[in-house]
Amino acid sequence: MEAGVLRQNIEALLFAAGEPLPVETLLAALSLSGPLERAAVEAALESLALEFPAGGERGIELVRLAGGWAFRTNPLCRTAVSALFELPEDSSRLSAAAMECLSIVAYLQPVTRPQIAEVRGVNSDSPMRTLVDRELITEVGRSQSGGGAVLYGTTPRFEAIFGLAGLEDLPPLEGFALGEEQKDELRRRLGLLATPD
């Protein structure tokens, strides 16, 4: 398939989809296979992404989301878009407890409820139910060791709502660690750091 036509077809597919399409889906739709064709599709996607850059001048942008590619409105147009359409639910409607559980599942998955309770120091069944109801997390299996406890993981919907191309897009957890100064301060205030007599 000629490069221009390929690009045109991919653009049409992404427009019609209304959800992130993985490269595999695009290949299948275009009856293509093999590494060369895959490279061609990826090149076409990159070229389209240059034309519809995130936060660029166009009203729509092409982004990598939840393991695929998707067209969506430019966030710069949020006000206009929200005047006519309901924007997807945003995470500000989740309680702080639910957000904590969500971040623990995102980073430690697959993870059990007791493990989450251990990290938070509090029973977390209620916020976990909320997250399951909102399809941000889901059961992904049973723990082999922990008496068959349910293991939880995040869903593609989670990645789509938080604008992640994939889980590897999550900022490193260690970046959120307390600084040494804060740690020392905490130690000192808890009386663990010998204060000079």
Q: Could you say whether residue 184 binds other proteins (CB under 8 A)?
A: no
DSSP 24: H
Asked if residue 90 binds other proteins (CB under 8 A), the reply is: yes
Give the total of residues touching other proteins (CB under 8 A): 66
Which positions ≥6 away from 22 have C-beta within 8 Å? 67, 68, 69
How far apart, in whole angstroms, are the C-alpha atoms of residue 93 and residue 122?
Answer: 21
46 part of the interface to other proteins, by CB under 8 A: no
**Residue in 104, 111, 131, 137 binding other proteins, rule: CB under 8 A:** 104
Interatomic CA distance for residues 106 and 20, integer angstroms: 20
List interacting residues with other proteins (CB under 8 A). 15-19, 28, 61, 70-75, 78, 81-82, 85, 87-92, 94-97, 99-100, 102-104, 106-107, 117-123, 138, 140-141, 153, 155-156, 161-164, 171, 173-174, 176-178, 182-183, 185-187, 189-192
